[in-house]
Amino acid sequence: MGDLSAHFSKKEFACKCGCGFDTPVPELVDKLEIFRELCGNRATYINSACRCVKHNAKVGGAKNSQHVKGTAADIRLIPGMTVDQMAKLAEQAGFDGIGIYSWGIHVDVRGYKARWDYRK
């Protein structure tokens, strides 16, 4: 049980540097709940979400990263699913930005459609 929604907590969204930035926009959390349901209510693990400017630079994030705005989350590959399956369900959940990686997917609510595939 979460403190932001039925399945997500602020702790999962917190910047990894410990600065205290842990507040995603509500739309992101709402769409993550929809995504989780579309995945058959499987556990959905967030690798990275909110990032302060300093931490974003340290991890090589884009200069205008959605993570800095609290509008993005990186979701670890769900066991038994492919990144392509996850991306398709993210599309159905209504995410604007969807990035495919070997480790999972990036999703965001940037306000316009964006897609990319950086699998290695």
Tell me the pLDDT of the chain (120 aa) as tens digits.
678 998 999 999 999 999 999 999 999 999 999 999 999 999 999 999 999 999 999 999 998 999 999 999 999 999 999 999 999 999 999 999 999 999 999 999 999 999 999 997
Question: What residues does 73 pair with on adjacent strands?
Answer: 107
φ, ψ (nearest 5 deg) of residue 91: -60, -45
Q: CA torsion sign, 47 to 67 to 3 to 40?
A: negative
Domain residue ranges of the chain, discontinuous segments joined by +: 10-117
Sequence letter at residue 36: R
Tell me the two tokens of residue 102: 């070997």
Separation CA 37–CA 101 (nearest Å): 22
pTM above 0.85, yes or no: yes
Q: Domain 10-117 falls in which CATH fold?
A: Muramoyl-pentapeptide Carboxypeptidase; domain 2 (3.30.1380)
